[in-house]
Structure 1
């Protein structure tokens, strides 16, 4: 049976990863960005309309005012069909974000299983030991960091909100300008997910460091003994 110290460290690692999975799951169900912009009918120089696109991973909400007609109620759309209308980089990058988040969940699930296995057994230093946990948590951290970068680029660089606002105009083509975007709760929840993945790795590192120190202390009496004594 593993020692109490080992059980404690590996259980804490599994607990930290479990909390991170809960945060990531919630982040995938809430809004990731909110973009507001001015909206005018095409071929007109001025207008006082506005549009707001609230973007989640699988849904989006389009709210319009005089864009292009008076008083439209907020509408909910499925994200991927609407992004298919926009096409190009916004569609590809959004799909990449979702894929990377799924891979994050897979890596976290692997980390939890290996941590729990180590808390009840004594596997060798293989992919079922600390090495496996390091690999899974490193994958989770790197992939989640990549998600933060890719989604921010998609919102601020590729013109995804503007394209969605244009594609949602069913009858009258519109122009949009002066877009202002704020990142949502779902986006920011990826940061504590990343931090908890690193924390889970830290628990395992602390255990390995403590185990190495303990082994060194047990070897010290033999290393420090006089050579004459060791000969007998």
Structure 2
């Protein structure tokens, strides 16, 4: 049976990881970003309308004001709409969703390992602290990749413009310029998710460090004993 100290540390790590899953789950269900751009029917500096795209991870909303003629608001499914235009925005968005699913899977693995360690004493294998370090560090690294890829998709690619043009249809040609984008709470919740995963690693490391120090202190009297005594 594990010691009380080990049980508390591993249960604490499991609780922190579970909290990170809750943070990520909420983040995946709320707003991630919005993009706003000027809209005109002719090329040049003159604009007579605007278009705004609000993104969640799976759904969004397009709002057009005099773009091209009348205003309109429409909800859409992000992956479905991006599939109609294709290209890099669709691929990057699908990769982001896939990576977030991997984060949740790694977090679930970490919770199972920490709960198993709180009731047993496994060897130093993937079912011990090594497994916790691996799962939580992979989650944090993948989350960092998501931050970068999603920022590239919103800021660099033509995702917003493609969605607006697709919503207008091929019958009306418009020119979209001066795009500005801002990230929302769902995107920034990836940061506390990363922090909680690193905290879960730290909790296990502190226990491992204390256990290692305790073992060394127990071995020291034997190591420092005179050779004559050790012979008997």
- TM-score using structure 2 length: 0.96
Aligned partners of 1:50 and 1:65 also within 8 Å: yes
Partner of 2:53: 53
Q: Which moved more, 1:99-108 or 1:162-171?
A: 162-171
In structure 2, what is the Cα distance between the partners aligned to 1:87 and 1:18?
A: 36
3-state SS in 2 of match to 1:176:
strand
- How many Å apart are 1:42 and its aligned residue? 4.5
In structure 2, what is the Cα distance between the partners aligned to 1:127 and 1:169?
A: 53
Partner of 1:12: 12
Alignment of 1:174-189 (within 5 A): 174-189=174-189
- How many Å apart are 1:158 and its aligned residue? 1.2
Partner of 2:162: 163
Give the CA RMSD over aligned residues.
1.3
3-state SS in 1 of match to 2:67:
coil
Q: Say yes or no: does 1:191 pair with 2:225.
A: no
In structure 2, what is the Cα distance between the partners aligned to 1:32 and 1:70?
A: 27
Aligned partners of 2:11 and 2:115 also within 8 Å: yes
Partner of 1:121: 120
In structure 2, what is the Cα distance between the partners aligned to 1:85 and 1:216?
A: 63
In structure 2, what is the Cα distance between the partners aligned to 1:187 and 1:43?
A: 34
In structure 1, what is the Cα distance between the partners aligned to 2:191 and 2:45?
A: 42
Aligned partners of 2:63 and 2:71 also within 8 Å: no
In structure 1, what is the Cα distance between the partners aligned to 2:179 and 2:47?
A: 15
In structure 2, what is the Cα distance between the partners aligned to 1:54 and 1:216?
A: 57
Gaps of 5+ in 2: none
3-state SS in 2 of match to 1:167:
helix
In structure 1, what is the Cα distance between the partners aligned to 2:162 and 2:210?
A: 55
Partner of 1:212: 212
Q: Which moved more, 1:178-187 or 1:40-49?
A: 40-49
Alignment of 1:64-103 (within 5 A): 64-72=64-72, 74-103=73-102
Aligned partners of 1:140 and 1:194 also within 8 Å: yes
- How many Å apart are 1:231 and its aligned residue? 2.3
**Aligned pairs, how many?**
231
- How many Å apart are 1:45 and its aligned residue? 5.7
- TM-score using structure 1 length: 0.96
Partner of 1:40: 40
